[in-house]
């Protein structure tokens, strides 16, 4: 049986030892679709300042970004604390000593270059850190930032994670993405041309998308020079515009069987050169509204593995 080219297998082969990603949620980061540069409220599935006072506070803090950012000290402290906590847990419970610092929340290239340099370099100085993975939007990559990332990529294991979500313009518009797929694709090409590896994110179950459209997005994204991919179902959480749509009955979340089926087909059509970093996502706290099956990641993973096994594939 063939195996899915998971990111974990890639890391093991590349380093010869276990490597884990440490998610970092750095305060102050936002995105141009939230702060008013492109739009207000963000994507319909993203935490929205119209509903969340905590996010409003972060947006106010982010306005202080400049070359002498007074908020930078707090960001660096948060980075060290989050990294240290996760690294200690992995060392004590799994014996892992090598890590990739994953800048996860919001758009982590959406800040002045000097701020980005300070944060990225601080992450690379942390014990056991072998590289960076930076989550962002395609429209948050300035030329000077790409130049800097290209330099880092020559010395470190560097990944830029781009939220594509869908290749269909109608879907991007319906979810208030405020990006066009053509521009996203061009940004991915630019990064790859500079020697920067890209991980593309896709969401299955976006409003009114059929299974054929979801798989078409996979085909289109895999035709781009990406090195890795992430999939996850669309789920509804509090403090989002999507929550309001769900409560009025205008949006129905994807069910588990449908998600497993379309994901299985997506994994079967991936070229072997593209690694898979994620195939599920969800939350298990009180913020999750629907679908409730997203609470049980272990059960979902079991269903996905079973479906793949029946196709002659091991995850």
Give the N- to C-terminal CA distance of the chain in Å, as an integer.
10
The per-residue pLDDT for 60 is 47
What is the domain range of residue 110?
A: 2-314
Q: In this structure, what CATH number is given to the domain that contains residue 259? A: 3.20.20
Q: How many domains does the chain have?
A: 1
Do the Cβ atoms of 80 and 122 come closer than 8 Å?
A: yes
Question: Based on the number of CB atoms within 10 Å of its own CB, is 130 exposed (0-12), middle (13-18) or buried (19 or more)?
Answer: middle
The per-residue pLDDT for 54 is 52
The per-residue pLDDT for 48 is 59
3-state SS, one letter per residue, for the chain: CEECCEHHHHHHHHHCCCEEEEEECCCCCCCCCCECCCCECCCCCCCCCCCCHHHHHHHHHHCCCCCCCCCHHHHHHHHHHHHHHHHHHHHHHHCCCEEEEEECCCCCCCCCHHHHHHHHHHHHCCCCEEEEEEEECHHHCCHHHHHHHHHHHCCCEEEEEEEEECCCHHHHHHCCCCCCHHHHHHHHHHHHHCCCEEEEEEEECCCCCCHHHHHHHHHHHHCCCCCEEEEEECCEECCCHHHHHHHCCCCCCCCHHHHHHHHHHHHHCCCCCCEEEECCCCCCCCCEEECHHHHCHHHHHHHHHHHHHHCCEEC
The per-residue pLDDT for 64 is 47
35 vs 189 pLDDT, higher one:
189
Residue with tokens 């306005």: 63
Over the stretch 265-281, which tens digit does the pLDDT of each residue have? 999 999 999 999 999 98
Sign of CA dihedral 239, 241, 245, 251: negative
Question: Based on the number of CB atoms within 10 Å of its own CB, is 249 exposed (0-12), middle (13-18) or buried (19 or more)?
Answer: exposed
The yes-or-no verdict on residue 66 having pLDDT over 60 is: no
Quote the CA–CA distance of 196 and 189 in Å, as a whole number. 10
The per-residue pLDDT for 291 is 95
The per-residue pLDDT for 106 is 86
Quote the CA–CA distance of 132 and 37 in Å, as a whole number. 27
Over the stretch 80-128, which tens digit does the pLDDT of each residue have? 999 999 999 999 999 999 999 999 988 999 999 999 999 999 999 999 9
Mean pLDDT across 8-33:
93
The per-residue pLDDT for 50 is 47
Give the pair of three-digit tokens for residue 277: 């970093």
Instruction: Tell me the pLDDT of the chain averaged across its residues.
Output: 92
Mean pLDDT across 35-50:
80
Q: Among candidates 55, 43, 41, which has minimal Cα distance to 179?
A: 43
CA distances in angstroms from 57 to 164, 183, 297, listed in the order given: 27, 31, 31
Confidence of residue 284 (pLDDT cuts 50, 70, 90): confident
Give the pair of three-digit tokens for residue 32: 């141009």
């Amino acid at each position: 049986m063939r195996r899915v080219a998971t990111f974990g297998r890639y890391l093991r082969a590349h380093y010869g030892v276990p490597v884990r990603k440490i998610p970092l949620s750095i305060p102050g980061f936002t995105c141009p679709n939230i702060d008013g540069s492109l739009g207000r409220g963000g994507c319909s599935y993203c935490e929205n300042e119209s509903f969340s006072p905590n996010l409003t506070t972060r947006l106010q803090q982010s306005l202080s970004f400049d070359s002498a950012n007074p908020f930078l000290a707090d960001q660096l402290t948060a980075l060290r604390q989050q990294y240290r906590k996760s690294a200690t847990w992995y060392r004590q419970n799994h014996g892992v000593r090598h890590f990739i610092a994953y800048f996860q929340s919001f758009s982590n290239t959406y800040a002045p270059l000097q701020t980005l340099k300070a944060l990225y370099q601080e992450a690379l100085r942390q014990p056991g850190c072998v590289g960076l993975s930076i989550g962002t939007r395609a429209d948050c990559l300035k030329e000077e930032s790409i130049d800097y990332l290209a330099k880092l990529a020559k010395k470190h294991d560097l990944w830029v994670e781009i939220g594509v979500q869908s290749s269909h313009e109608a879907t991007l518009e319906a979810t208030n993405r405020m990006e066009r797929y053509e521009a996203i694709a061009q940004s991915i090409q630019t990064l790859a041309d500079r020697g920067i590896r890209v991980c593309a994110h896709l969401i299955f179950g976006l409003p009114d998308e059929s299974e054929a459209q979801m798989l078409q997005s996979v085909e289109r994204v895999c035709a781009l020079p990406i090195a890795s991919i992430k999939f996850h179902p669309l789920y509804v959480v509090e403090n989002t515009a999507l929550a309001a749509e769900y409560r009025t009955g205008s949006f129905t979340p994807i069910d588990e069987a449908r998600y497993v089926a379309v994901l299985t087909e997506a994994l079967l059509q991936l070229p072997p050169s593209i690694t898979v970093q994620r195939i599920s996502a969800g939350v298990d706290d009180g913020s999750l509204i629907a679908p409730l099956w997203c609470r049980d990641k272990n059960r979902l993973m079991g269903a996905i593995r079973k479906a793949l096994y029946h196709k002659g594939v091991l995850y």
